Amino acid sequence: MSEPAGMLDPELFGACPVPQSRYDQIVLGHGGGGLLTNELIQRLFVPAFRNDVLEALEDQATLRFGTDNGVKAPRIAFTTDAFVVRPLFFPGGDIGKLAVHGTVNDLAVGGARPLFLSAAFILEEGLPLADLKRIVASMRSACDEAGVTLVTGDTKVVDRGKGDKVFITTSGLGLVPEGRSLSIRSARPGDCLVVSGTIGDHGIAIMSVREGIEFETVLESDTAPLTDLVRVMLDACPSIRAMRDPTRGGVSSALNELAEASGVGVRLDEAAIPVGAEVRGACEMLGLDPLYVANEGKLIAVVPAEDAERLVAVMRTHPLGRNAALIGQVVAEHPGMVTLRSIVGGERVVTLLSGEQLPRIC
Amino acid sequence: MSEPAGMLDPELFGACPVPQSRYDQIVLGHGGGGLLTNELIQRLFVPAFRNDVLEALEDQATLRFGTDNGVKAPRIAFTTDAFVVRPLFFPGGDIGKLAVHGTVNDLAVGGARPLFLSAAFILEEGLPLADLKRIVASMRSACDEAGVTLVTGDTKVVDRGKGDKVFITTSGLGLVPEGRSLSIRSARPGDCLVVSGTIGDHGIAIMSVREGIEFETVLESDTAPLTDLVRVMLDACPSIRAMRDPTRGGVSSALNELAEASGVGVRLDEAAIPVGAEVRGACEMLGLDPLYVANEGKLIAVVPAEDAERLVAVMRTHPLGRNAALIGQVVAEHPGMVTLRSIVGGERVVTLLSGEQLPRIC
Amino acid sequence: MKYLDEYRDSVGAEKLAAAIARTVTRPWTIMEVCGGQTHTIVKYGIDRILPPEVELVHGPGCPVCVTSLEMIDRAHAIASRPDVIFCSFGDMLRVPGSRGDLLQLKSQGADVRIVYSPLDAVSLAAANPSRQVVFFAIGFETTAPPNAMAVWLARKRRLTNFSVLVSHVLVPPAMTAILQSPGNRVRAFLGPGHVCTVVGCGEYEPIAERFKVPIVVTGFEPLDLLEGVLRVVRQLEEGRAEVENQYARAVRPAGNPASKALIDDVFAVCDRKWRGIGLIPLSGYKLRPEYHDHDAEARFAVSNIETQESAICISGEILKGLKKPHDCPAFGLTCTPQNPLGATMVSSEGACAAYYAYGRHLEKTNSRDAMVPVEDLLPLGAGKEVVR
Amino acid sequence: MKYLDEYRDSVGAEKLAAAIARTVTRPWTIMEVCGGQTHTIVKYGIDRILPPEVELVHGPGCPVCVTSLEMIDRAHAIASRPDVIFCSFGDMLRVPGSRGDLLQLKSQGADVRIVYSPLDAVSLAAANPSRQVVFFAIGFETTAPPNAMAVWLARKRRLTNFSVLVSHVLVPPAMTAILQSPGNRVRAFLGPGHVCTVVGCGEYEPIAERFKVPIVVTGFEPLDLLEGVLRVVRQLEEGRAEVENQYARAVRPAGNPASKALIDDVFAVCDRKWRGIGLIPLSGYKLRPEYHDHDAEARFAVSNIETQESAICISGEILKGLKKPHDCPAFGLTCTPQNPLGATMVSSEGACAAYYAYGRHLEKTNSRDAMVPVEDLLPLGAGKEVVR
Amino acid sequence: MCLGIPGRVVETYTEHDVLMGRVEFGGVYKRVCLEHVPDIVANEYVLVHVGFALSRIDEVEAKRVFAFLEEMNQLDDLEAHSP
Amino acid sequence: MCLGIPGRVVETYTEHDVLMGRVEFGGVYKRVCLEHVPDIVANEYVLVHVGFALSRIDEVEAKRVFAFLEEMNQLDDLEAHSP
Ligand code: SF4
Ligand code: SF4
Ligand SMILES: [Mg+2]
Ligand SMILES: [Mg+2]
Ligand SMILES: [Mg+2]
Ligand SMILES: [Mg+2]
Ligand SMILES: [Mg+2]
Ligand SMILES: [Mg+2]
Ligand SMILES: [Mg+2]
Ligand SMILES: [Mg+2]
Ligand SMILES: [Mg+2]
Ligand SMILES: [Mg+2]
């Protein structure tokens, strides 16, 4: 997601790297995973903390710790995410499950074997202990399923009206095998893009139970730990160059970040992108584009063209990859940009989500 | 802070490990670092996540990652804390500084050299970007001062009224030198307790600017990174058995946890405990006990008696230890309990804070 | 999905495009009136498969982006009140008034909520008897029946805490204004399919006749639009100027009588200001006096808020089909969906926003240009508020 | 700190303890009336340095723990109202009524705030004219002047949105009740120093005389208490029963005339229920009718809420000095500061809570016993609410 | 203007004397006001805008564009066969 | 009952016709109502309960306990010297 260096040139953008959109306050869109989020990261966080690892803007930092004895130490992947999903319990999951999967997946798509988690809870006064218990039990079983151990944690309580029942921040540690190096910077023209299944399921499941938009249909989130799928993929196809889980901001954000980071163009084929019937129905009804809807438990992989068919075939043997599909190509044209060939043959640009997704009248 | 095994026996306490105090909902006291926090951890979190590392209830988990080549990998300390302090900016610091110091200190008091941090921000709609920028700048300089690098992060935005401007969760990684093993389980009767300076400064500084209690005096928080002090201490006195930063719940919580974990008694000498004049004044005025007030930038060390004097002397050469004092002893009597000899010679028990600290009428 | 997928067929699209190419003999400028049609055109890249003789220009058919600056300022004033729950369609929340948009107001603590339907706002009023629930009733003729139904139902249910801020606009007066503009280039229209489900096709006959323009009432899927263009081009080539109905699966010639009756009961025609265009006589609906009790403008005394628009952007000319987004020097530079200056950038349906999002800007600029130094930006909200 | 540190001197304490030991010849039971004194005694371990002949028993002197269950239920009812900002001293928030404590109510969304001073609540009322600000005016005579001042000031400032829920209690009637109890063992009192700064020492003369008990008005620091005990013991050994003033640095014999006048203006004496003891005639203050407008009980119509206390705990006998916390089978087991069953466990000043916190329980139990199976606990709030 | 999509009526009912219905959109169900399509029966399709049915979808008319495309196909065939 | 501690009056002022003051407690300053200690002057000590001064601390009386302890000391000395 890093931009060409010139874009952050203080000469060009003034000495103050605060986002220069029309907002001088945080709005929901800053958390939407799209353009405003991108601006906040690029203009506020990156300049403040400037260092190579952070600037890579991978979903996880890969670290090597020096040893006393001079032995080459293992590479450790480190990632964090805060989870603020509402409602706490939704069809197919809950905030606890999500908090485990989200962090496990950020490690997995970086090529690491997820091992340890931390969890910090921010609880609002008045939260029923029974709800907390249910969330924590769900986290435990998600940890077990993903093969990780929660080794440290913290709990804070805030005044009623100063929080929203439960927020959970998980951080994760994983081991990156020697020689493995997945990075969103390494996509090359000619590579293929593979998605592991239908897109938009999680975001629409959450929206379907949200106040004001509720459907009379129970749509299930697709949240799942990707550890095992990733293992199968990398075993079969060590040539995979990069993976990303297209969470907030959806496929659009993940691919725009990839295009930016690798300095390549991305060209999607709308007809090839798997979208479930209900997600399509909901998107048509609300005027949303599935490319911008959040996913959990899905990934996008960049793979050399010669291995793409085989990779898709292997993924389809895995329960979490049975709808895997080749959805587009990496191209040399329009670097930093994602385009899409529509089902009727026209072409358009897939930009970053601007603000957050709102149901439309028109 | 782990209890004798029998205390968690489901036969004794029913199958449901939910806290069995009169609260079936979260109240502020659950975050106060005292008895309610303890109950929540012991009855809800520990049973759910049950594993050896977590159950040790150290402020940090110490992990060893297997390597491919069979070489003994370095030991890595891992910790997390959520920061919800109000106001965001207070005399002597801000939430960003605290979020860095808190995590750095949890690593340092475990004997680790702090190296890497992650930060996850939960922002409330309407937060001025200028405030966020100030906080982030403060975090950066705190990182620089403590010698750590922030390598990964996350940002979420919540609806107005569903958060409180900014919450920050930091996680930290540090390297534990081979052979070093500090643990709150290792205090032995005869050991001495050393505090690095006056207690209660941070908690009273925060209280002094809190709505409804404001003083007309600016009290400064003592927040500081303890990395260097710890280094000096361990260099001079490798026999140190344990350290803890007495944050939430104050000295009382830190020592009760130590007494529990090591199965020893703790005996304090009230006259020896350093308390600043203003903190004393504020505590007298509000009816608070400095032993229960939060600290940041202070630590308590457990050291064999023969090294105690020397340790105090060494600490006093360091700016963050200039008021270091020997405040008590580890004893074999009343295991799991902290007692205090009052300035007029009587004795009392120092229990865990029950609920949160409230100013008293009487 | 039935009635959608079959109209998104690439083989059919190719055939229709080929038929258009075979039919057309010289350049024609055709306006699709409706923002939904603009959306389809750019989303599917339809203009790219049309022959170069056919130029599509985008009309003022986005109800969100034609809502006047002062109406948004009134909404802002009402939504700022602590006793009010202010409800709106989602895309209206991003449109900036003089003092920012409603999302910003929400971020500052106002109780602003997105509803899917105006009837949901009525339910909110029933559920919150101690609060004032206000619905921002914007839209073209299409949205008039649901909005009218909300008001009618609130009165029937005696929900005295429900009111609407009405900013309805009508298509035929806007088409007339476009055709009467000096320099008008529009020679034919794709008529607004959804508007016509309500009002029928009859209102368009006098326009076709008076201005000698073919009007083909058209649907919203790729095949609909291509067939609409084909029919328009045939008329143009044959020198006809008739009203045709491409969208007969949804549009009855007489529209929907029940809807028309309800609109007549609740609304009366009035003059209305359009963002980027200005005042068009008899181009909107207001509440009839019988529904005065549910009129938010009266209840919260905001009708004295009047706001002048800035003269910077050319959205008015774009809305009239006289110019294209790329003709604006601000397009993609100081004017982006993040920081829209004019009507046509404020909603994703607006012509400038649609161009920005779906690739026309590829030709001239890069989406990253959205990040510009703050000095280059206009002050927040290009308008100036006048409270009398 | 001046006037504190010098009274916490261990050498002086030793000397006074030695003098007491030299003076005493046989067992005496002395009650310190005031919870603040109890606090000092247990915090500094003073009873441990006294000779075994001197037994200190703890009186009903904690204003928080003697507040009746039904008063808390009334506070609960008022604080539950969305229009109310309910203000209280911090330690009152933890005291459970029939439906939990005020902290729990706050966690459920009520606007409950801690104030340091009643005057801060008046400022809150001025700052929040659209809300009802209610202050929970509890306390002994000591707190009556500040509470009266708050009411007086609110009336003067015409803050019609300020009211007080009054639950004031008076010391002398409680002392009389204790002395009249069958089985009374109290032979002398350490008088309540802070109460006497307001009302003076005169009210205690008739009690000393009628019941032949020495009363030494005593301060709150270790040396104060030890000197108070010494003076009481001297009187007892010499067969005197007088009122003495150990705390003359703060207590004038006539009290504070300005305070007494303000109390008379704002409050009138009334009967009052004490938690754990029951109704004591003429043992409290209520607002005078002139201040009816600031009476929260009337404004929010809560005086019909009456609650019966459970008969489980022996706090009444403890408050009267007839028993000690360890005599209660629930102490430290089903009754803890986390889950208090009775008056004397609810505040850190209460005798049971003080024993629990400061070590007497060492002898019998372990603080970890606080964690008991839920089956063993009484239902939440040991009382039963009766609304007439 | 005016996002409108076709949905299948699953069932109808009245609420506050207004005709309402459960309408399916590709497997997703939503409450829709049917008051202005009073003769609608289950399994028919309506065009829905902001939770309000504007009109019934006419199945015969819906096929017209395909008939037209079919004509063009035959025209193509003709052209292809006649040189 | 009734936490009360001595504080040093730093300055006085009136607010809404009520005598108020800035009072110091070991270096911490707090607003206190002085209306019932009307003759108080700066640097005198007052006994403060819930932000309200109940009485002035009498410096002479304050020393009495120490005089008493002093007497006992002398008594001790006497006892120590006389066998
Ligand atoms: S790009 Fe912006 S400024 Fe230019 S015409 Fe469009 S809306 Fe107006
Ligand atoms: S321990 Fe509890 S139950 Fe027993 S007397 Fe004290 S307050 Fe009552
Ligand atoms: Mg992450
Ligand atoms: Mg993530
Ligand atoms: Mg912690
Ligand atoms: Mg909330
Ligand atoms: Mg990710
Ligand atoms: Mg920690
Ligand atoms: Mg910590
Ligand atoms: Mg993230
Ligand atoms: Mg807030
Ligand atoms: Mg710690």
Chains in contact with B, where contact means 3 or more Cβ–Cβ distances below 8 Å, are: A, C, D, F
pLDDT for the residue C348: 64
Average pLDDT of the residues in A145-162: 95
* Cβ pair C106:B161 closer than 8 A: no
Q: What is the pTM of this model?
A: 0.89
- Report yes or no on chains F and E touching (3+ CB pairs under 8 A): no
**Number of structural domains, chain E?**
1
Q: Within the 227-286 window of chain C, which residues sit less than 8 Å (CB to CB) from chain B?
A: none
Shortest CA gap B245–chain A (Å): 15
- CA–CA distance, B37 with B46 (Å, rounded to integer): 12
Residue of chain B with shortest Cα separation from F49: B361
Q: Per-domain residue ranges for chain A?
A: 10-55, 61-176, 192-349
Give dist(CA C135, CA C294) in Å, integer.
Answer: 10
The token duo for C162 is 């429900």
| Residues in contact with ligand 2 (CB, 6 Å cut-off) | D 313-315, 318, 325, 328, 330-331, 335, 340-342, 344-345, 352
Question: In the CATH scheme, what architecture does the domain C64-170+255-299 have?
Answer: 3-Layer(aba) Sandwich (3.40)
Contacts of D102-107 with C-beta under 8 Å, sequence gap 24+, read D102/D72, D102/D75, D102/D76, D103/B27, D103/B28, D103/B29, D103/B355, D104/B23, D104/B25, D104/B27, D105/D76, D105/D79, D105/D80, D106/A125, D106/A159, D106/A160, D107/A125, D107/A126, D107/A160, D107/B25, D107/B26, D107/B27, D107/B28
Question: Does residue B7 surpass a pLDDT of 80?
Answer: no
Determine which of B285-289, C134-138, E8-12 has the lowest per-residue pLDDT on average: B285-289
Ordered strands of the B166-176 beta sheet = B61-64, B75-83, B166-176, B113-124, B149-158
Instruction: Return d(Cα A325, Cα A274) in angstroms, integer.
Output: 7
* Beta-carbon separation of B216 and F26 below 8 A: no
Mean predicted lDDT score pLDDT of chain B? 89
Contacts of B30 in chain A (CB under 8 A): 123, 155, 157
Distance B247 CA to ligand 12 centre (A): 6
Parent domain of F48: 5-80
Among the residues of chain C, which ranges form H helices? 10-23, 35-43, 69-79, 102-107, 118-127, 144-156, 171-180, 193-199, 205-211, 222-238, 257-266, 296-299, 315-319, 343-346, 351-358
Instruction: Check whether A47 has a pLDDT greater than 60.
Output: yes
Taking the C-alpha atoms of residue C353 and residue C375, their distance in angstroms, rounded to an integer, is 23
Res. B348: pLDDT tops 90: no
Top-confidence residue, A14 or C216: C216
- Distance from the alpha carbon of residue B130 to the mean position of ligand 4, in angstroms: 26
- Model confidence at A7, pLDDT cuts 50, 70, 90, reads very low
C-beta of residue D4 within 8 angstroms of C-beta of residue F6: yes
Q: How far is the CA of D13 from the CAs of B348, C138, D19, D45, D47, in angstroms?
A: 17, 82, 10, 11, 12
Q: Mean pLDDT across the stretch A134-160? A: 96
Closest-CA distance of chain E to residue A213, Å: 9
Query: Percent of chain A, pLDDT > 90?
Result: 70
Over residues B295-316, mean pLDDT? 97
Strand D84-88 vs strand D112-114: parallel, antiparallel, or unpaired? parallel
Looking at chain B, the whole-number percentage of residues with pLDDT higher than 90 is 70
pLDDT at A1 over 50: no
Cross-chain CB nearest to A80 (options B28, B48, B152)? B152
Chain A to chain D, count of Cβ pairs less than 8 Å apart? 11
What CATH number has the domain bearing residue E36? 2.30.30.140
Say if residue A90's pLDDT is above 90.
yes
Q: Which of B54, B154, B173 sits opposite A78 (nearest CB)?
A: B173
Q: In A, which residues are within 8 Å of B73 by CB distance?
A: 67, 73-74
CA distance A121 to A143: 16
Residue to probe by mutation, ligand 2, list D345, D365, D369, most atoms within 8 Å of CB: D345
Mean pLDDT of B71-82: 87
- In angstroms, the CA D33 to CA D62 distance is 9
Yes or no, beta carbons of B362 and F3 under 8 Å apart: yes
Cβ separation C139–A361 shorter than 8 A = yes
**Protein residue whose Cα sits closest to atom 7 of ligand 2:** D342
Please state which CATH number belongs to domain B61-176.
3.30.1330.10
Q: State the count of interchain CB pairs (< 8 A) between A and C.
A: 156
Q: How far is CA D309 from CA B266, D168, D353, in A?
A: 40, 19, 19
**Hey, what are C231's tokens?**
């029919």
Mutational pocket test of ligand 2: of D315, D317, D333, the residue with most ligand atoms within 8 Å of the beta carbon: D315
Chains in contact with A, where contact requires at least 3 CB pairs less than 8 Å apart? B, C, D, E
Say which CATH topology domain A192-349 has. Phosphoribosyl-aminoimidazole Synthetase; Chain A, domain 2 (3.90.650)
Per-residue pLDDT in tens (0 to 9) along chain C, 388 residues = 999 999 999 999 999 999 999 999 999 999 999 988 988 998 898 988 999 999 998 888 888 878 998 999 999 999 999 999 999 998 888 888 878 889 889 988 999 999 999 999 999 999 999 999 999 999 999 999 999 999 999 999 999 999 999 999 999 999 999 999 888 999 999 999 999 999 999 999 999 999 999 999 999 999 999 999 999 999 999 999 999 999 999 999 999 999 999 999 999 999 999 987 889 999 999 999 999 999 999 999 999 998 877 667 888 888 777 888 888 888 888 888 777 777 778 766 677 877 776 654 344 333 322 222 222 222 222 233 333 3
pLDDT at E78 over 70: no
**Residue of B160, B162, B165 best to disrupt the C interface, most CBs of C under 10 A:** B160
The pLDDT, as a whole number, for residue D381 is: 28
Distance of CA B313 to the CA centre of its chain: 24
Question: Which pLDDT band, with edges at 50, 70 and 90, does A68 fall under?
Answer: low
- For chain E, the average pLDDT equals 90
pLDDT of residue C366: 32
B78 CA from centroid of ligand 8 (Å): 8
Give me the half-sphere count of Cα atoms (radius 13 Å) on the Cβ side of residue C288. 12
Contact C78, C84 (CB under 8 A): yes
- E strand or H helix that includes residue F61: helix F59-62
Give distance in angstroms: CA of B53 to centre of ligand 8: 13
Q: Which of A56-60, A281-285, A311-315 has the highest mean predicted lDDT (pLDDT)?
A: A311-315
> Per-residue pLDDT for A154 more than 60?
yes
pLDDT confidence tier of residue B93, bands split at 50, 70 and 90: very high
The minimal CB distance from E26 to the residues A216, A281, A362 is found for A281
Please state the atom number of ligand 1 nearest to the C-alpha of residue C351: 6
pLDDT the model gives residue D349? 60
- Residue A10 confidence (pLDDT): 24
Smallest CA separation from ligand 2 atom 1, residue: D331
- CA of A25 to nearest chain B CA: how many angstroms apart? 4
Check pLDDT > 80 for residue A11. Answer: no
Spell out which residues of chain B touch residue A128, defining contact as CB-CB under 8 Å.
24-26
The helix (H) or strand (E) run that includes residue C290 is none
- Report the residue count for chain C: 388
Could you report the per-residue pLDDT of E55-67, keeping only the tens digit for each? 999 999 999 888 8
What average pLDDT score do residues A77-100 get? 96
pLDDT at residue C144, as a whole number: 98
DSSP for B123-164, please give it: EETT-BHHHHHHHHHHHHHHHHHHT-EEEEEEEEEE-TTSS-
Q: Distance between CA A275 and CA A255 in Å, rounded?
A: 17
- The yes-or-no verdict on residue A18 having pLDDT over 70 is no
Confidence of residue E80 (pLDDT cuts 50, 70, 90): low
Distance from C-alpha of A25 to C-alpha of B90, rounded to nearest angstrom: 21
Q: Which residues of chain D have pLDDT under 70?
A: 310-311, 347-349, 357-388
Q: What angle do CA F23, F25, F29 make, to 5 degrees?
A: 50
Query: How far is the C-alpha of D247 from the C-alpha of D223, rounded, in Å?
Result: 11
Residue C344 has a pLDDT of 79
